[in-house]
Amino acid sequence: MEQRVALITGGARGIGREIALTLAEKGWAIATCYRSSEADANSLLTLLKERGTTAMTVQADVSDPAAASSLVDKVQSEMGRIDALINSAGPYHRVPLMEETVDGWLSMFDNNLHPVFYLSKAVAPGMTERKWGRIVNFSMANADQQIGQPAITAHYIAKAGVLILTRSLAKILAPHNVTVNAISPGFIDSGSAPLEEMSRMIKNIPAGYVGSTSDAASVACFLLSDEARYVNGTNIHLSGAWGV
């Protein structure tokens, strides 16, 4: 069997980086993209190649539909295929809703929801032609509850939209042996927030501790495996029972 290829957005740091390293250990070829974290992307590329896997990294702003399409074309041209797409890019900012700007509002959708559509649409033809594919999207714990979120409203709505898009894509692509699932992290020590700040939230986490990027990578690897062939359209909470 040909070496499977994974494209990971937001792969230079945090959860995406851990998924890339874990998949490389399992024999996958890895393509990652980054917007501005060039040093992190290059260090990851070095680590991947040290593991003996085929790897590449591309600077791309996937909030731009043309750039997202170009990224997919480049990876497929250089690596021959894309078997798995992991949409792990997802920045957010915390701003009271009545103080949010129009640009800030739109940026949350441009960076969290729209790229999932652009990239999934671009990789789907190759997956359906080969009759095998995996798409994993990252939402957030409690996005399925649709509760009020006065400080991260746009980000929260975008992540709820990711769940709807995930289920819609799953129904469309399931006849072609392509699965589309979501992972919804709670508090994960990914480097995006100070560990001290997250540690203060431990009292709210039933499991009693903050999750790690390796926890996320383990779930992603399962969803990408042949063992998960009948898991489609689901949303896996990765939160130690927080937000459920």
Catalytic center residues: 156
Computed on alpha carbons and rounded to an integer, the radius of gyration of the chain in Å comes to 17
Question: How many Å apart are CA 225 and CA 83, to the nearest integer?
Answer: 11
Alpha helices in the chain (DSSP H): 14-25, 38-50, 65-79, 102-112, 114-130, 153-173, 195-199, 213-224
Q: 177: closest CA among 137, 134, 118, 116?
A: 134
d(CA 125, CA 85): 13
Residues making up the chain, counted from first to last: 244
d(CA 9, CA 11): 5
Give dist(CA 224, CA 6) in Å, integer.
9
Query: 144 by DSSP, 3-state: which?
Result: helix
Burial class (CB in 10 A: 0-12, 13-18, 19+), 143: buried
Pair type for strands 188-189 and 84-87: unpaired
Specify which residues 8 forms β-bridges with. Answer: 32, 86
